[in-house]
Chain A
């Protein structure tokens, strides 16, 4: 695979950022966009725009087809059994809120328990917290071990007879750990507990096969998959989407409306109220095509090489302390430097065009557990190279000089 050719598909790298070549190591936050994705949005608005699923005129029919084509592409990409198991949302956050809200309404009552892990992003905790207040349920957290890992055992330990759903990340956005979700799902199912996977970090980097891992729900963030912002995907087994109540009410999600009552639409319309992020959905098809063309196996292989190289380099740098020691690492490396606050690291690195994230990465539970207020994080996408980590390391050394470490 020729990385130069792939990088050329991303116009962001054509321009200097503050007079520097951009070293973009913030893809866990959001990925850059290929020209084809950008063009698709432009073309749709310029030549093909219409609302979908409503009118019968030519443009409306064409737009509806484009929109539904993306649904089929996503279905195939993640190997879901049916296209109507794919629901578009405004983001992975909304996807998780949708499940927490509707599952909570229908199945949770006082004293029931939801099991999360200490690795969860706030978007896979706060929606469940709402239920803690509304339904008086309890939230348990599977604990990380000394290496920062979540193991099958740590999950098993926290499952009780009252556990009604387990929600956990596929790939930690802080430690980079890839969780053994297939085993966890199989364990949960053996006890009759459904599982939601927060796939924000998993989907851009790992091969997805919904029928193989057999999860009940899988949340995807499209802007982390070389796609547009404002768009997410909820995969849910058909039986759940049929059984759960609708999430938001509005146009497009109804079957028949009377003064006395309302019946709801078929799947997946039941969950797509109002005018959706049409251009984003249509453009997201180009992101899927882009990833399919490279091949997810090649993406995984390339990113593994890069992140292993990055890990080696940073481990050799005495002052750098990596956070967590995952058994299987995805494209994320979080670290601290004794004596330099992560925000100061990020500001100094930025001066060299090296873009990283500093903060708690929306994971305060994990940072508190590790006695940290913040950390610095480098994360990769398909366009990153080993040289990017060389530049990161150089910049870290410069930072150490500035702070006299």
Chain B
């Protein structure tokens, strides 16, 4: 197994300098998630406009390179997407990270897909899959207004 597959440049970059690591002003949806096994935690903030389009998305939290990079890339890709597009991208990503070889989403362009595929190396490290999915599950919980502190271990 090659470490470079897991820790690709783009992951190291986003892990070290996460984008949108802040709290959105006037956010109207948010959710917290954590992984009790390792202590990683994330708080996602969403500002949706009247058409439920993501006007701003940001996060706070701490965790390993994989979880921070995954949250960072997620916020970049989902900015400007509407609720349905968001849900479709999240489910495509979650399937890819667990089993599929490719992303099939109609709502991501090729560049965006390439960027997201950088996380696909995680598949070979079963103990680390939850690091990559924490932010995405938490986002779903924010969109659905679940109002719970999501425990990624229970998924």
A129 within 8 A of B: no
- Could you say which residues of chain B place their CB within 8 Å of the CB of A342? 64
- Could you say which residues of chain A place their CB within 8 Å of the CB of B39? 359-360, 364, 367, 373-374
Q: Give the one of B1, B6, B16, B38 with max A CB within 10 A.
A: B38
How many residues on A have C-beta within 8 angstroms of the other chain's C-beta atoms? 20
Q: Is the CB of A402 within 8 A of B7?
A: yes
Q: In the complex, A342→B62 CA distance in Å?
A: 12
Q: Give the one of B1, B3, B128 with max A CB within 10 A.
A: B3
Q: Is the CB of A339 within 8 A of B7?
A: no
Q: In the complex, A351→B2 CA distance in Å?
A: 8
Partner of A343, one of B1, B41, B64: B64
Which single residue of chain B is at the shortest CB-CB distance from A372?
A: B39
* Closest Cβ–Cβ distance, residue B143 to chain A (whole Å): 26
Q: Is the CB of B37 within 8 A of A341?
A: no
Instruction: Give a binary string over B125-143; 1 marks a CB under 8 Å from any A CB, 0 the rest.
Output: 1001001000000000000
Q: Is the CB of B12 within 8 A of A347?
A: no
- Could you say which residues of chain B place their CB within 8 Å of the CB of A402? 3, 7, 12
- Could you say which residues of chain A place their CB within 8 Å of the CB of B1? 18, 351
Main secondary structure of the interface of A (DSSP, over half): mixed
Residues in B17-63 with C-beta less than 8 Å from chain A: 37-41, 62-63
Q: In the complex, A359→B64 CA distance in Å?
A: 11
Q: In the complex, A343→B39 CA distance in Å?
A: 10
Given the interface contacts A341-B64, A341-B65, A403-B65, does A347 sit within 8 Å of B6 by beta carbon? yes
Residues in A165-219 with C-beta less than 8 Å from chain B: none
A348 within 8 A of B: yes
Given the interface contacts A341-B65, A343-B131, does A373 sit within 8 Å of B41 by beta carbon? yes
Q: In the complex, A342→B127 CA distance in Å?
A: 14
Q: In the complex, A18→B63 CA distance in Å?
A: 26
B66 within 8 A of A: yes
Given contacts A341-B65, A342-B64, A360-B38, 20 further A-B contacts (CB under 8 A): A18-B1, A339-B16, A340-B65, A341-B64, A343-B128, A347-B3, A347-B125, A359-B37, A367-B39, A373-B38, A373-B39, A373-B62, A374-B40, A402-B3, A402-B7, A403-B7, A403-B12, A403-B16, A403-B65, A404-B12
Q: Which 4 A-B pairs have the closest CB atoms?
A: A341-B64, A343-B64, A373-B39, A344-B65
